[in-house]
Amino acid sequence: MTRRTEWPGSDAEPAPDPGAGPDYGTGSGGGFGEGAGRRARSRSRSSGSPSSSRAEQGEPRDPVEQARSVCLRLLTGTPRTRKQLADALRKREIPDEAAEEVLSRFEDVGLIDDAAFADAWVESRHHGRGLARRALVRELRTKGVDSAVIDEAIGQLDSEQEEETARELVARKLRSTRGLDRDRRLRRLAGMLARKGYGEGVALRVVRQALEGEGEDTEGLDEPF
């Protein structure tokens, strides 16, 4: 069917184009004009305040509730120290009073226990990674554990156990150093122990014994490396 076209100046209104969408012009009669759009946006803004939007999303508005929610989420499946949680709350701009209230309450009910955290950390990092006491102390300090609590946790490791762990570490690494000269083997093995927090005396003694076991001449290796 042929569409009738009206030219400018004609009294008749142009015929609507079947392929065109609705008229979103600026006129006041249709209700879809610019003025109507502004009114609709204004009504939308006035009906949805930031607080109601947060409530719809399930975010607690009370600072104490916010702090409790953050702490519970961070503690899920992963123990954390009080300092770690306090830093997280500060980063989220939780007021100090609300943070202190929640953190103290969590300590009271045992959800925060720096002593238990330190004990578990020492057990896991020593037996799992072979870290010596010096390295463990350094790590626990960075996590905000009190010095007295650290000393108590570190006390579960004695010198004999620490040296035995050092021997196990060297035994696992020894094979990969075969073919190197004695001094390079010494530096590589002793350096590995040093990075894990072992003192120079322990490292030298353990490495010397391991090299002797492989027939290496260890004369002169009693001096500090």
pLDDT tens for each residue of 68-99:
999 999 999 889 999 999 999 999 999 999 99
* Predicted pLDDT of residue 59: 55
Report whether 153 contacts 137 (CB < 8 A): no
Instruction: Report d(CA 213, CA 118) in Å as an integer.
Output: 36
* Average pLDDT of the residues of the chain: 79
Closest alpha carbon to 210 in 173, 159, 181, 158: 173
Q: What is the mean pLDDT of residues 57-70?
A: 82
pLDDT of residue 57: 54
User: Residue 142: pLDDT above 80?
Assistant: yes
What's the whole-model pTM score?
0.68
Look up residue 118 and give its two tokens: 């330190």
Q: Binning pLDDT at 50, 70 and 90, where does residue 27 land?
A: very low
Asked if residue 207 lies in contact with residue 186, where contact means CB atoms within 8 angstroms, the answer is yes
**Angle 85-115-147 (CA atoms, 0-180°, nearest 5)?**
90
